[in-house]
């Protein structure tokens, strides 16, 4: 049985690596096809009406597909977690195929979503099929689904350890200890395949393994700085867009998806028109802007941050299909870069790329409730102890402060809720009002 498990893990990693690579290349092909070349070069030459029409038509098609199968709409890996919990594969092959098409359309037309949800689904489905082919015991379904999801995530992140940590924290953290060896095997093999075709996210300017105590004061100030942006993101998503959603669709709930599709297409078109780097998944932003050695104007980065936050939240409400790992990571990287530039202006020079790496990990880790993944992401992208230590401290402190005012749930990281204390207060007030009416 052990030999069979090893072979199954190797096959899962190999097949997942190639399928995830094909999925990413499909997105790249469609992006170049829709924008008639590299979008960052061609968008300024395209007509304005086309930049608005393209994402609007795409999101209407995505909403049509969601109308056919509501399970397509999913931003994390909750379906895979449910499959593990129920010891059976919940995600159907037809749903996965439609999810990939909807995700590719969303990403290639400029919507700020990521790729981890469909990638986890691809890996899990491959592993489940291998489980059936090998006629393995039913008790190993959980293990194989976890192995497949981990390999899919490791491949799409082009980062094996981060992929494993993400899978453990999201999918199989209760029982994965029993099968961690097979998870590692499949993840590393999938990574080994994808690294030959895809580019990993690496912060090239990290300072190394020497602890720099001069950054201690800057690290402490960075905590409230990035917390303010976390609050802005949650406020925009929960208080503003949720309010619009409720008030606007009291009378027009039947047309909710169509109205938000129009809003989403208009917002993405505007973002593409203003600054193309503020659209798409965010990987291009991190690699193109953060790893460049030239100085980037603060106002330019701030504009991209605001546009990306708006674009990500609107993409969620307009039903763009994909994940939010990379979009959140890109926002955090830009926040860290801006902080370092502002801090340097007051005669305390710090390396902007250092805080970009911390910001990328912290912003994602807090909003997705993945502190371990955040620390490992910081380590694997920089190999810098300064970044790892600062990320570990910051992600805990920022999450603590954020949870005082917002209740962020791991189950569905695309939704924010009021803190439990405030929710209970609201329930008490509602019950009191009902009693008074009676």
How many degrees, rounded to 5, is the angle at CA 135 between CA 129 and CA 137?
Answer: 105
CA distances from 395 to 7, 27, 222, 238, 364 (A): 38, 31, 11, 21, 9
Model pLDDT, residue 76: 56
Position 14 scores a pLDDT of 93
- Selecting from 3.50.50.60, 1.10.3080.10, 2.30.30.40, 1.10.260.40, what CATH number does the domain 2-194 have? 1.10.3080.10
Q: Give span(s): CATH 1.10.3080.10, the chain.
A: 2-194, 213-420
CA distance 202 to 291: 8
Mean pLDDT of 41-69: 92
pLDDT over threshold 80, residue 176: no
Question: Is domain 213-420 given the CATH code 1.10.3080.10 in the classification?
Answer: yes
* pLDDT of 409: 61
Residue 416 φ then ψ, to 5°: -120, 145
Q: What mean pLDDT do residues 268-283 have?
A: 86
What's the whole-number mean pLDDT along residues 119-137? 88
Range of lowest pLDDT (18-27, 182-191, 224-233, 237-246): 237-246
* pLDDT for the residue 163: 74
The per-residue pLDDT for range 35-54, each reduced to its tens digit, is: 999 998 999 999 999 999 99
Q: What average pLDDT does the segment 58-79 reach? A: 80
Task: Return mean pLDDT, the chain.
Answer: 80
pLDDT score at 208: 61
pLDDT score recorded for residue 422: 42
The pLDDT tens digits of the residues spanning 210-236 come to 666 777 788 888 999 999 999 988 887
- Out of 29-33, 169-173, 347-351, which region has the weakest mean confidence (pLDDT)? 169-173
What mean pLDDT comes out for the span 115-143?
A: 86
What's residue 22's pLDDT? Answer: 93
250 compared with 145, residue with greater pLDDT = 145
Q: Give one DSSP letter per residue of 132-151, joined into a string.
A: HHTT--GGGHHHHHHHHHHH
Question: From CA 293, how far away is CA 65, in angstroms rounded?
Answer: 43
d(CA 189, CA 318): 36
State residue 428's pLDDT score: 42
Q: What is the pLDDT of residue 382?
A: 80
pLDDT of residue 245: 63
d(CA 311, CA 279): 7
Using DSSP's 3-state secondary structure scheme, residue 426 falls into helix
Q: What is the pLDDT of residue 318?
A: 84
CA–CA–CA angle 298, 392, 121 (5° rounding): 90
């Amino acid at each position: 049985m052990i030999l069979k498990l090893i072979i199954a893990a190797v096959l899962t990693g190999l097949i997942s690596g190639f399928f995830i690579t094909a999925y990413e290349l499909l997105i790249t092909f469609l992006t170049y096809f829709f924008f008639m070349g590299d979008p960052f070069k061609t968008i300024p030459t395209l007509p304005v009406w086309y930049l608005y029409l393209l994402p609007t038509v795409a999101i209407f098609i995505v909403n049509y597909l969601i109308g056919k199968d509501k399970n397509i709409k999913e931003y994390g890996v909750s379906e895979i977690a449910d499959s593990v919990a129920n010891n059976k594969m919940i995600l159907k092959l037809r749903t996965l195929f439609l999810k990939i098409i909807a995700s590719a359309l969303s990403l290639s037309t400029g919507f700020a979503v990521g790729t981890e949800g469909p990638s986890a689904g691809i890996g899990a489905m491959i592993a489940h099929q291998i489980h059936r082919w090998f006629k393995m015991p039913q008790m190993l379904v959980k293990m194989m689904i976890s192995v497949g999801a981990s390999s899919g995530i490791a491949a799409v992140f082009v980062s094996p350890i981060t992929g494993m940590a993400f899978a453990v924290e999201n999918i199989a953290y209760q029982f994965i200890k029993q099968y961690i060896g097979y998870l590692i095997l499949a993840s590393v093999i999938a990574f080994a395949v994808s690294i030959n075709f895809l580019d990993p996210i690496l912060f090239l300017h990290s300072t190394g393994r020497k602890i720099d105590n001069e950054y201690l004061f800057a690290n402490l100030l960075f905590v409230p700085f990035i917390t303010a942006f976390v609050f802005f993101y949650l406020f925009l998503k929960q208080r503003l867009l949720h309010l619009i959603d409720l008030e606007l669709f009291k009378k027009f709930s039947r047309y909710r998806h169509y109205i938000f599709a129009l809003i989403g297409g208009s917002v993405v078109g505007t973002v593409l028109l203003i600054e193309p780097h503020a659209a798409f998944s965010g990987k291009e932003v991190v690699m193109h802007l953060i790893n460049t050695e030239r100085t980037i104007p603060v106002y330019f980065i701030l504009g991209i941050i605001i546009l990306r936050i708006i674009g990500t939240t609107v993409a969620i409400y307009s039903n763009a299909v994909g994940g939010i790992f990379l979009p959140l990571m890109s926002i955090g990287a830009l926040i860290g870069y801006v902080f370092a530039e502002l801090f340097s202006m007051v005669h305390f020079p710090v390396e902007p790329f250092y805080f970009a790496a911390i910001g990328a990990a912290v912003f994602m880790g807090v909003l997705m409730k993945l502190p371990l993944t955040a620390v490992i992401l910081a380590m694997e992208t920089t190999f810098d102890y300064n970044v790892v230590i600062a990320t570990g401290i910051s992600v805990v402190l920022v999450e603590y402060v954020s949870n005082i005012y917002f209740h962020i749930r791991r189950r569905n990281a695309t939704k924010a809720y009021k803190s439990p204390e405030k929710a209970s207060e609201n329930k008490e007030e509602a019950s009191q009002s009902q009693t008074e009416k009676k």
